[in-house]
Amino acid sequence: MQFRSVFDIIGPVMIGPSSSHTAGAARIGLVARQLFETEPEWAAFHLYGSFAKTYEGHGTDVALVGGILGFDTFDDRMTTSFHHADKRGLRYTFIEEKAQPEHPNTVRIRLGKGEDVLELVGISIGGGKVEIKELNGFALRLSGNHPAILVMHDDRYGAIANVATRLAKNEINIGHMEVSRKEQGKEALMVIEVDENIDSETMHDLTMLEHVRRVTKIHD
């Protein structure tokens, strides 16, 4: 019996042969898709370190595209993600970068549709776990393994407190929270990991708060 790829042997429950290079890569792609909030027209994957050297043999390329399409690691379609991408008209490219990253399993993902573009940097730290290190130029630390919301807001007094108060009112517990800004008094990004998925009513309430520009979420 012939196998076309390692996915045919390992199966879709846990992408192999390396959880770092495949399951982790799929998770990074999925987080990027969730934050972009729609299916992109194109995707560019800038691969660094070990990712750049072994992405074809370890199925990192297949996993990244599958994640961008919204497939989780247990999705049967993950094994044929290139086929599904072609059917949907998704244009994708892989760029092997020579720069040495801080972590060997690093990818910079750029997604676009029309005038909307998202840029995200993620690392795969082993066992299928990931960290998102940068989003649209904002430094952050997001595990991608827990429900979370990202709040783009004006860097103004009371903005953070208003969001935290609203979550408390809706009985949502904060597990981890951090704020990143490029310049004082300008745009800032709040990253909040929570204990449960945020419902649509709470999302709406957050978007209506003063100084809040946009709220997106990822879920486990």
How far from each other are the two terminal CA atoms of the chain, in whole angstroms? Answer: 36
Quick check: 42 and 91 in contact, CB under 8 A? Answer: yes
What span, in angstroms and rounded, lies between the C-alpha atoms of 38 and 28? 16
What residue ranges define each of the domains in the chain, with the CATH number in brackets? 6-142 (3.30.1330.90), 148-218 (3.30.70.260)
- Is the pLDDT assigned to residue 8 strictly greater than 80? no
Quick check: 42 and 89 in contact, CB under 8 A? Answer: no
What are the Cα distances from residue 165, in Å, to 43, 142, 156, 170?
A: 37, 21, 16, 9
- Report the mean per-residue pLDDT for the chain: 88
Global pTM reads 0.83
Kindly report, residue by residue over 88-132, the tens digit of the pLDDT.
Answer: 999 999 999 999 888 889 999 999 999 999 999 999 988 778 999
- Which pLDDT score is estimated for 213? 94
* Nearest Cα to Cα of residue 142 among 189, 78, 196: 189
Kindly report, residue by residue over 187-210, the tens digit of the pLDDT.
Answer: 999 999 999 889 999 999 999 999
